[in-house]
């Protein structure tokens, strides 16, 4: 699959979600195609930010939205490598803007069918879940002839030193999965991809439609 998988899936699902938002009062900003990808740099064609650049970029975009009159922003993330940085940067965004901001993975609020596919895949990267959606949306970007090679990934610590699973360290994905596939995508198909696309879009729309999405803690308590 191409290196643009996260960008393509996230943008398509965001646009599909806006069509389900009541009143359709949502603007989808251009997708930020680069993020925190140091763990993928051993693979060709990869670009990455460091944390200060990522922070500066997002903050500039948020301030631009604020100056254009927006007051509420949902940052929909499509790349797992961005999650720790986004979590760490949220206090900065709250301090340096007056925006009400939420962050979510595009599949964060999905239901049983997506979760079951993620569970069956038992992997972390380029797995059945992502591959099936790519086959449904952009099949020309997936090399079907190599689908049976789409399996791999190993973490010896999990088997030989399970106590070390309680710690965290940086590792190149190429060392964990030489093909880039960490898990098993061999059962992926376009037919399997349609359901999670619809469910991801629907769940994201339901989150945006929720009456309490923009209330802070004090406001939520007063609404009880």
Domain count, the chain: 1
Backbone angles phi, psi at 208, to 5 degrees: -65, -30
- What mean pLDDT is reported for the chain? 87
Residue 73 pLDDT exceeds 90: yes
pLDDT tens digits, 153-212: 766 656 666 777 778 888 888 888 888 888 888 889 999 899 889 999 999 999 999 888
Lowest mean pLDDT across 45-54, 77-86, 208-217: 208-217
pLDDT of residue 181: 84
pLDDT tens digits, 9-27: 999 999 999 999 988 789 9
Confirm whether 179 is domain-assigned. Answer: yes
pLDDT of residue 83: 94
Confirm whether 107 is domain-assigned. Answer: yes
Q: Rounded to two decimals, what is the model's pTM?
A: 0.86
- What range does the domain containing 74 cover? 5-216
Average pLDDT in the 54-60 region?
98
**In CATH, what number is assigned to the domain containing residue 111?**
3.40.50.10310
Average pLDDT in the 1-14 region?
93
Average pLDDT in the 48-63 region?
97
Residue 115 pLDDT exceeds 70: no
Confirm whether 222 is domain-assigned. Answer: no
Confirm whether 223 is domain-assigned. Answer: no
Confirm whether 123 is domain-assigned. Answer: yes
Confirm whether 224 is domain-assigned. Answer: no
């Amino acid at each position: 699959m191409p290196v643009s998988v996260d960008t393509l899936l996230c943008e398509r699902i965001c646009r599909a979600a806006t069509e389900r938002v009541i009143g359709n009062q949502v603007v989808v900003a251009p997708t930020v195609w680069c993020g925190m990808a140091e763990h993928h740099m051993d693979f060709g064609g990869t670009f990455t930010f460091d944390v200060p650049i990522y922070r500066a970029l997002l903050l500039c975009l948020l301030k631009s939205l604020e100056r254009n009159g927006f007051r509420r922003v949902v940052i929909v993330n499509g790349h797992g490598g961005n999650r720790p940085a986004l979590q760490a940067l949220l206090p900065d965004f709250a301090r340096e803007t007056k925006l009400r901001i939420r962050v979510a993975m595009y599949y964060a609020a999905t239901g049983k069918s997506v979760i079951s596919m993620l569970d069956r895949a038992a992997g972390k990267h380029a797995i059945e879940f992502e591959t099936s959606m790519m086959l449904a949306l952009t099949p020309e970007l997936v090399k079907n002839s190599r689908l049976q090679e789409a399996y791999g990934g190993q973490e010896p610590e999990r088997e030989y030193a399970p106590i070390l699973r309680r710690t965290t360290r940086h590792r190149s994905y190429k060392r964990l999965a030489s093909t880039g596939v960490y898990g098993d995508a061999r059962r992926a198909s376009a037919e399997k991809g349609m359901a999670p696309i619809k469910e991801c879009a629907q769940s994201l729309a339901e989150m945006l439609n929720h009456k309490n999405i923009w209330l802070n803690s004090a406001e939520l308590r007063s609404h009880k």
